[in-house]
Each structure stands twice: as C-alpha cells, then as structure tokens.
C-alpha cells in the first residue's frame, strides 16, 4: 500500500482527494498548513506528495524548493495542485522540481490516475539493461542513480524517467506527444511545454546533452547515437 501525503488547506477538497485515494487502495494523510509539511515528511516520507500551491504558513513553491535541495528528498514524487491556471505558474512549478501539475477544478479520478502513473514511473523495476551508459553518463535503473563522470547527479523522478527513455531510444526522433504518452504515462493535459522544460533541465544538469540531445524543430527531440 502506497502512502500519499496531501497538503491542501481547503478542507472539502482535501477530504475528496483523501477519499478518492483510499478508495483506490492508497493510505492518505492530509495536512492543511504548509508549516507542517516538511516536519511530517522528515518523520515519514510519503511515496507521493500532493502539494497545493497556495498553502498558509509556507507555500507550495517554497516547500518544493526545500525538498529538492535536500539529497534525501530530491527525488520525492510531487504533484502540484493549484487554482492558478496561468502557464507561467505551471512552468515555475515544473522548473523547481514538481513532477506533475494539476489545475483546479480537477477530476478526482484523473488525480488518482496521475498518482498511479507517477508511482509506476518512480518505483524501481527490473530492467533488461539495469545499467545504461552514454558517454560520461551512467544510469543505474535498479538503484535509481545517475552519475556523470563518476559524480552523482540529482534528478527528479520525471527527469530520471525522461533521461532513461531517451537513452533507451537513442538515435530515434521522438515527438513531444510520444514523450508525454510514454514518459508521463497518461493523456497529459498540461501541454507539450512540459517536455521542453524537462529537456532544458536535463541539459543544464548533464552538460554532455547540450550538444547530443538535438531539438527537432516543431516536432520533438533526438538523442544522437553517440555523444
């Protein structure tokens, strides 16, 4: 049973999310103040954090930034929830490390599906090639570790999955829509800009990709066969 922590100050919405998650077989806990989130995660780390943007005490962006700054929680799967629908807000959330972004009002069934998809993507699985190598990059799929020239590189769960997918499909042109479907695992409604944001973050964290990961204009991306 997966443990999902829900940080949401609207009691009605929080109860709806909790009920939907529990009906799907998850254990869910609700916190209504941003001040309580980090201490709770320190005492018991969830499998997924559902994080409202506009929390009292400490907002969702501050919490997300703090979690990504700590090695122990750098890969904690985070779904950000907010009533603010502007694209800039979604991009900021993704840039600081959120793995997914849901805008209110939303379907509880869709949120539960996104939680399930994120769990499937982040829980270690047995891979045909447990260790992938590309130039100076090494991915250990079993340990969920990425190294560049022998140094550990901290990636979010979605960044890790995107990098793994690109390495597994090197030399092929991949559309943004295909990346959304295969990496995000569902009919993502946030738009293909999400892919661009994650690609840019991979290029920043792994400099070898700056030249090796090509942008195919108005279509998608291609990782060269060899760096």
pLDDT value of position 66: 94
pLDDT band at residue 129, thresholds of 50, 70 and 90? low
Q: Identify whether residues 191 and 218 lie together within a single domain.
A: yes
Reported pTM: 0.60
pLDDT value of position 126: 43
Q: Does the structure show a pLDDT above 60 at 189? A: no
Last residue of a domain, one of 122, 146, 180: 122
Segments of 90-130 assigned E as strands: 100-103
Q: Are strands 27-31 and 48-52 parallel, antiparallel or unpaired?
A: unpaired
- Cα angle value 191/17/10 (rounded, 5°): 95
Q: Identify whether residues 13 and 108 lie together within a single domain.
A: yes
CATH number where 194 lies:
1.10.10.10
pLDDT value of position 135: 93
CA distance linking residue 134 with residue 15, whole number of Å: 46
Q: Identify whether residues 115 and 24 lie together within a single domain.
A: yes
Structural domain boundaries enclosing 180: 131-223
Q: Does the structure show a pLDDT above 70 at 104? A: yes
Last residue of a domain, one of 74, 102, 122: 122
Q: Identify whether residues 18 and 94 lie together within a single domain.
A: yes
């Amino acid at each position: 049973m997966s443990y999902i922590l829900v940080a949401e100050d609207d009691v009605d919405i929080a109860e709806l999310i909790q009920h939907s998650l529990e009906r799907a077989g998850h254990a869910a806990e609700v916190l209504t103040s941003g001040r309580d989130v980090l201490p709770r995660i320190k005492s018991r780390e969830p499998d997924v954090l559902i994080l409202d943007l506009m929390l009292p005490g400490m907002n969702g962006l501050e919490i997300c930034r703090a979690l990504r700054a700590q090695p122990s929680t750098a890969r904690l799967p985070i779904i950000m929830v907010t009533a603010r629908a502007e694209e800039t807000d979604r991009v900021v959330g993704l840039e600081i490390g959120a793995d997914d972004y849901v805008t209110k009002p939303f379907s509880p069934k869709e949120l539960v599906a996104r939680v399930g998809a994120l769990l499937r993507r982040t829980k270690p699985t047995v891979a045909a090639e447990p260790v992938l190598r590309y130039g100076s990059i090494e991915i250990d799929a079993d340990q969920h570790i990425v190294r560049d020239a022998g140094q550990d590189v901290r990636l979010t769960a979605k960044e890790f999955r995107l990098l793994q997918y690109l390495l597994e499909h090197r030399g092929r042109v991949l559309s943004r829509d295909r990346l959304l479907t295969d990496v995000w695992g569902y009919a993502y409604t946030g738009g293909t800009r999400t892919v661009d944001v994650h690609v840019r973050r991979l290029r920043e964290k792994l400099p070898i990709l700056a030249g090796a990961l090509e942008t195919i204009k108005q279509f998608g991306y291609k990782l060269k066969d060899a760096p």
